[in-house]
Amino acid sequence: MMNHLRCRTCGQTYNPNEPVWRCTCGGLLDLHFQAEFPLDRIQARPPDLWRYREALPLESDDHIIIIALGEGFTPLLPVWIGDKSIWIKQEHLFPTGSYKDRGAAMLISKSAELGISRVVEDSSGNAGCAVAAYCARAGMECDIYVPADTSAAKLAQIQMYGATLHKIAGSREDTARAVLMAAEQYYYASHSWNPFFFHGTKTFAYEVCEQLGWTAPDTIILPVGNGTLLLGVDIGMSELRNAGIIPQKPKLIAVQAAHCSPLAQRFFKPDSEITSPQPTIAEGIAIAEPIRGEQILDAVRNSGGTFITVSEDEIKTALIQMGTQGFYIEPTAAATIAGIQRYLATAPPDEVIVSVFTGHGLKATEKILKFL
């Protein structure tokens, strides 16, 4: 089923059954893989992300059975935003409270298959929680590197899974640099560098299409920091189109916080200097230097989509509005809702739109209390 890993910079290829996460030239790797969708078999299986087994790059089911936590097939519910009902995927209901479980479940299953016994990862919180949880399930050691100002609830969660926590002073980029040193010795289970992570997040696209009767929405609106969900959705929709299940890919709308919007700035003014980031309550997308930035920009452009930036006040307002509808979500998820509100001002009235609650509010209660 699997084909090869290929460097985006020099084109060198690697066997995907070897523990390689980066090219020798330093370039990013993509996984080139032929996904298959036997619909009768898929629909006869339990409602989790592993139902798409033939579309996932694993040699066997052995490690799925060991690490599975019932992840996937989160509800797709209509949620009122302004005067329009939007389909919202309830990814905050995953075992660790965020969609990052999709990528971690796939990546740690593959890591176990490769015989890896210890991994390192850097995160603003949610990816670290997810990797730590699935490493615990797999009996694998892991070291999680996080910015020192990460939400206390996320730090507690990471440590409860038994991971070794490294709090790094400085920016999110300082944390990324620190983990790269550790990755010289241990396998890097990165949600940005490691291509297997995206082949977990791509299952979001499969589920959305299946839940809509094997059709694609017109538009998908997603938050973007390192782009792990958007790139996964782009891969998944491409695979569904190539398999003849959907006629075309949906438009991708990327939402960033105005305080940290390097990709939005490059999208609209590619030749201008990027404004220095400021702190934002949407910590999950506070990424000043996304590793796969060009890839994200290409995915949005090629889909006919665009970028939207939202202010801190808009994020807080959206967070409170969702609370009044019974949804307790983290600020990063609220940034997406604020982006939807902006998008709807000019959207066609009959457009089918899908978006997401990326993370649970319990991960950010201390921050939420500060402005309630």
The string of pLDDT tens digits covering residues 242-256 is: 999 999 999 999 999
Contact 249, 305 (CB under 8 A): no
Tell me the per-residue pLDDT of 157-203, one tens digit each, with 9 for 90 and over: 999 999 999 999 988 788 888 999 999 999 999 999 999 999 999 99
pLDDT at 361 over 70: yes
Contact 221, 353 (CB under 8 A): yes
Q: What is the dihedral of CA 114, 233, 133, 163, to 10 degrees?
A: 80
Going by their DSSP bridges, the two strands 164-168 and 141-147 should be labelled as parallel
**SS3 for 309?**
strand
Q: With CA atoms as reference, report the closest residue to 285 among 315, 248, 252, 244.
A: 315
Contact 239, 209 (CB under 8 A): no
Q: What percent of the chain has pLDDT over 90?
A: 88
Q: How far apart, in Å, are the Cα atoms of 4 and each of 23, 115, 186, 235, 267?
A: 13, 19, 22, 15, 30
Tokens 């996904």 found at: 35
Q: Fill in the amino acid letter for 28.
A: L
**Cα–Cα distance, 177 to 182 (Å, whole number):** 9
Going by their DSSP bridges, the two strands 29-33 and 353-356 should be labelled as unpaired
**Cα–Cα distance, 198 to 290 (Å, whole number):** 15
pLDDT at 331 over 50: yes
For 193, phi then psi, to 5°, come to -80, -40
**Cα–Cα distance, 165 to 225 (Å, whole number):** 22
Written as six digits, the tokens of 283 are 């910590």
Beta-bridge partners for 70: none
pLDDT at 150: 84
Written as six digits, the tokens of 182 are 């550790």
pLDDT at 2: 56
**SS3 for 362?**
helix
Q: What percent of the chain has pLDDT over 70?
A: 99
pLDDT at 7 over 60: yes
Q: Who wins on pLDDT, 186 or 367?
A: 186
Q: What is the mean pLDDT of the chain?
A: 95
Distance, C-alpha 189 to centroid of its chain: 14
Q: How far apart, in Å, are the Cα atoms of 360 and each of 27, 302, 353?
A: 34, 31, 21
Residue 265 pLDDT class (50, 70, 90 cuts): very high
Going by their DSSP bridges, the two strands 29-33 and 2-7 should be labelled as antiparallel
